[in-house]
Structure 1
Amino acid sequence: MNPPTLLLVLHDVAPQTWADYQPFVEAVDALGDVPITWLVVPDFHKNNQLAAHGDFRRMLDSRVARGDELALHGYFHCDDGPPAHSPRDWFMRRVYTHEGEFYSLSQTAALARLQAGIEVFRRYNWPLEGFVAPAWLMSDGTRQALRQLPLSYTSDPQHLYRLPDFCVIDAPGLVWSARSAWRRGLSKVISDQREQRWRQAPVIRLGLHPVDMRHAFSRNYWLQTLKRLMDEGRVPMTKANWLKLQPDRIGHGA
């Protein structure tokens, strides 16, 4: 039997967001050997191309060298598609989030953007196994594109999916909405309830965002939760390494 695990995942990793994450990452490093999965955006909001940020790339090189994982997290992390054509699409793309980059892409468009992201990782010699869509939103075209690529997994808030057949693996995750004080308070209540419910779960994901790091209340929550779960015996791993320990086929294709 594998020990219970936790997966620490940093979303929206880009030169623009590194200043938010740096103090937290330093605090995590001080705890010892805690592998992190970094969800890297190649050109965040079309204004942060990795090619222009050598120091940031070298920082990521050093993280890979110490055993962290880099995963592809969209390409631009912004929704630049045509206007929504239905109330549901308008809600998902303009109320729920403005960053659902892969929510409405055709198979051809998704494949081109995914291949461009894969090429960025190849250029910098970064191993790549996983893709996570911004806001976890994927069109059918994106799913079809992912079936054609040399990637091992994708995910949504509560599951990992082994590619290319989208075999589903339960991987419950905690995530906050931290843009306002009332959202942070509600996120704390919901996360505490979910953590209790998942005490016996084989794995728990901690999904952090840059905005979480800008408020002491949410930043301290994540650091204390990480410490507590480790003290309770959960072993920190990257998403890719945890997935390698799972049986070849769990659940069903999605």
Structure 2
Amino acid sequence: MATPRPVTGGKACSTRDLCVVLHDVAPSRWEGCQRVLGHVRRCADAAGIELPLTLLVVPHMHGDTALPARYLRWLHRMAGAGHELCLHGLTHRDEGPPARGLREHLLRRHYTAGEGEFAALTREQALAKLREGRAWAKALGLSMDGFVAPAWLMSPASLKAVGKAGFRHTCTLTEVIALPQRQALKAPSLVFSTRAAWRRQLSRAWNTYLAHQARDTRLLRLELHPGDAEHPDILRCWTGLLTEALRSRMPLRLGEAAMLARRLG
């Protein structure tokens, strides 16, 4: 991806806003990230606007500590161009205790395929991971004021740890949360599941419906993953929804959405 033009969006002054968020930013997923961002950029160019993004960075995806120089330079360019970097777990891998009950088992092992890293951690376990992630970012000169848990799954203890670790905002699947006071702003998410054909078909139908239902919601989020450009049907769906949203919504970064939550809360 070419270095984006400097962005200025995010004054939180429109009546309806949009956050475009890219998950799983890591060296092992970088190629997919760039494909997705290329399509995002084309949608923004067609709309004639600058589109500030939030990139969710995983320091050690599935235990991989590799840090290619080209990837690190790219992160710095993205931040320098005005895009927001947030911490997205440490390893993106659920190594917590065994699931308790059917609902937790389904969430942690099927909904997330074992990637809900903060789903079942104690406060101390979560705080240790968060501090390690912050230290990693600081050592590389990367500013990350926000934290988003993989799959948005956080135990109550983990949520407390996020504020204790000094992060200024986080979110769930349906809300953006300003810290430390935890003012919450309703923000439904359009997110696609691509692991199987039936998931892709259901995702297209559900997100089209949700976008329609949320057309008057103050804040809408498009939550993208590195694999979302690999399937033409999914790609057509989310680029169409993004193009439609850009006609009537002002783009914000998650940090600016949290500022809005503080103001409205």
- Name the SS for the 1:39 alignment partner: strand
Structure-1 residue corresponding to 2:36: 24
RMSD over aligned CA atoms reads: 1.8
Structure-2 residue corresponding to 1:178: 194
- Counterpart of 1:41 (choices 58, 64, 68) is 58
Give how far 1:88 is off.
3.9
- Counterpart of 2:111 (choices 96, 101, 108) is 96
Instruction: Report the more deviating stretch, 75-84 or 27-36.
Output: 27-36
Q: Given the superposition, is the C-alpha separation of residues 205 and 142 from structure 1 closer, same or farther in structure 2, using an over 3 Å criterion?
A: same
- Tell whether 2:81 aligns with 1:66: yes
Q: Can you list the C-alpha shifts for 1:133-167, whole angstroms capped at 9, x where unaligned?
A: 11111112212212312211111111011112322
- In 2, Cα distance between the equivalents of 1:27 and 1:208? 11
- In 2, Cα distance between the equivalents of 1:224 and 1:164? 36
- Name the SS for the 1:7 alignment partner: strand
- Counterpart of 1:238 (choices 222, 245, 253) is 253
* Aligned amino acid, residue 174 of structure 1: L
Note the 1:1-254 alignment, pairs <5 A. Answer: 2-3=13-14, 4-30=16-42, 31=45, 32-47=49-64, 49=65, 52-97=67-112, 98-231=114-247, 233-248=248-263, 250=265
- In 2, Cα distance between the equivalents of 1:162 and 1:246? 6
Q: Can you list the C-alpha shifts for 1:18-57, whole angstroms capped at 9, x where unaligned?
A: 111212312333415111100110100002x25x321111
Instruction: Report the more deviating stretch, 179-188 or 113-122.
Output: 179-188
- In 2, Cα distance between the equivalents of 1:163 and 1:15? 29
- In 1, Cα distance between the equivalents of 2:181 and 2:261? 15
Give how far 1:247 is off.
4.0
| Aligned-residue identity in percent | 35
- Name the SS for the 2:108 alignment partner: helix
Per the normalisation by structure 2, the TM-score is 0.87
- In 2, Cα distance between the equivalents of 1:86 and 1:244? 37
Give how far 1:2 is off.
2.4
**Runs (5+) with no aligned partner, structure 1:** none
**Runs (5+) with no aligned partner, structure 2:** 1-11
Give 4+ residue runs of structure 1 displaced > 4 Å after superposition.
none
Confirm or deny: 8 A CA contact 1:179 1:211 kept in the other structure: no
- Name the SS for the 1:147 alignment partner: helix
Instruction: Report the more deviating stretch, 176-185 or 37-46.
Output: 176-185
Give how far 1:74 is off.
0.5
Give how far 1:246 is off.
4.1
Q: Can you list the C-alpha shifts for 1:163-202, whole angstroms capped at 9, x where unaligned?
A: 1232221111111112122211111111111111111111
Give how far 1:68 is off.
0.4
Aligned length: 247
Q: Given the superposition, is the C-alpha separation of residues 203 and 249 from structure 1 closer, same or farther in structure 2, using an over 3 Å criterion?
A: closer
* Aligned amino acid, residue 2 of structure 1: C
Per the normalisation by structure 1, the TM-score is 0.90
* Aligned amino acid, residue 207 of structure 2: S
